[in-house]
Amino acid sequence: MTMSAVYIGSNLDSIVGEDPGIPFALLDEESKREIRRALLHAVCIPGYQVPFGSREMPVARGWGSGGLQITLAIVGKTDIVKVIDQGDDEGVNAVNLRRLVVTSTGIEESSEVVESTIIQSRHRIPEDEMINSHTLVLQVPVPEPLRGVERDMRELARMHAEADYSRMWVSLYEDKVRNGVITQTTGYPCLVNGRYVVATTPIPRWDIPRLHNSQFLTLFGAGREKRVYAIPPYTLVEPLTFEDVPFEVEQANGAQCRLCNSSESFLVESPGTNGDAGTWTCSDTAWCRARRIK
């Protein structure tokens, strides 16, 4: 019997007749194998969205179930996992997902990039250098970069198949005409390996240059949309932009982290109280903490 759900509790036990136990990494072997097959497919065709049989997970779809399934499918007994949400290891979602991975596998967890082998993230790539021993797993809400310009799935499939991205270019043109700048921030469309346009959701523009020719493997998982895609190491990742409109990352001129004084990391603003100016802090909390200790 193929089991894709978690069997916990006496009621289920009585139905099944015997305690099936919780398999290593929660998912049964058939499920993990199916996800790994989709991932191999994704790595072979960089940027191509591969459908997979997204399982019911103990987190709601849209809450990182895609990234979680990838992590559970690739995790081995010697891996060390780091999970962040918005750059924060202590975010509620990050803590819960990490706890699920650790308790179902018995592996070590860490908040240090250098110690980790699998880094699951929502919204950020860690500031620390990542090398070929790392695998980055990103939780993706909307994997389809063309969703904003076309809703028909057959037409979307055709556009990707023929690399017909002119309407994506038109949307960038319209953005620039209406707003003077290209305003799209997270999910900025990028051309991978000169072939497929991907949504780099959920990371900000700031992190996009990190994906280009990276040493590490990046796996994208969208549980609700049932798609995985990948950017293998040393792959061209070019943000779509016009020749005369340079791609720019987010900037907060003169802003510094109020904890570590950094001005070279991705900063997030906290609104001030009583009309005071807002303050800035590093989005990557582990990086910020390490800097302060130094």
Partner 1 sequence: MSKIVIPDAVLKVSGLGKIYGPITDGAIERTGSHVGTARDYQTGSIVAAWDVNFEVAAGEALGIVGESGSGKSTVLRCIAGDIDSSAGDVRLATFENGESNLLSLDAATRRKMRIDQVSVVYQDPAEGLALGVTAGGNIADPLTAAGWRNFEGIRARARDLLQRTEVPLDRMDDIVRSFSGGMRQRVQIARALANNPRLVLLDEPTTGLDASVAAGVLDLIRGLLEEFELAAIVVSHDFSVIEMLTERCIVMHHGRVVENALTDQLLEDPHHPYSQKLVSAARA
Q: CB of 6: closest distance to partner 1 in angstroms?
A: 45
Query: Quick check: 242 binds partner 1 (CB under 8 A)?
Result: yes
CA separation for the pair 143, 202 (Å, rounded):
9
Our CB check for partner 1 shows the closer of 244 and 264 to be 244
Task: Kindly state whether residue 170 participates in binding partner 1, applying the rule CB under 8 A.
Answer: yes
Rounded-to-integer distance, Cα 270 and Cα 278, Å:
5
Q: At what angle do helices 92-105 and 65-74 cross, to 10 degrees?
A: 30
Residues in contact with 133: Cβ distance below 8 Å, sequence separation at least 6, in sequence order: 117
- Smaller CB distance to partner 1: residue 193 or 241? 241
Q: Does 167 bind partner 1 (CB under 8 A)?
A: yes
Sort 148 into a burial class: Cβ within 10 Å, 0-12 / 13-18 / 19+. Answer: middle
> Which C-beta is closer to partner 1: that of 125 or that of 182?
182
Q: How far is the CB of 248 from partner 1 (least distance, A)?
A: 14
Stretch that binds partner 1, among 42-50, 94-102, 193-201, 237-245 (CB under 8 A): 237-245
User: Which residue's CB is nearer to partner 1, number 48 or number 216?
Assistant: 48
* Residue 114 touches partner 1, criterion: CB under 8 A: no
Under the criterion CB under 8 A, does residue 152 sit at the interface with partner 1? no
Q: Strands 279-282 and 267-270: what pairing?
A: antiparallel
Provide the residue count of the chain. Answer: 294
Sign of the alpha-carbon dihedral angle for 53, 57, 62, 63? negative
Task: Choose one: 114-122, 190-198, 238-246, 265-273; the region binding partner 1 (CB under 8 A).
Answer: 238-246
Sign of torsion over alpha carbons 106, 67, 216, 262: negative
Phi and psi at residue 231, in whole multiples of 5°?
A: -120, 105
Query: Phi/psi of residue 74, each to 5°?
Result: -105, -10
Q: Minimum CB separation from partner 1 for residue 162, in Å? A: 5
Using the contact rule CB under 8 A, the part of the chain among 95-103, 130-138, 156-164, 193-201 near partner 1 is 156-164
The set of catalytic residues is 47, 257, 260, 282, 288
Structure letter (DSSP) for residue 65: H
Residue 125 or 190: the one with the smaller Cβ distance to partner 1 is: 190
Q: How far apart are CA 228 and CA 38, in angstroms?
A: 7
Binding status of residue 162 toward partner 1 by CB under 8 A = yes
CA-to-CA distance for 191 and 236, rounded, in angstroms?
8
Scanning residues 171 to 190, which ones bind partner 1 (CB under 8 A)? 173-174, 176-178
- Residues found near partner 1 in the complex (CB under 8 A): 158, 161-162, 164-167, 169-170, 173-174, 176-178, 242-245
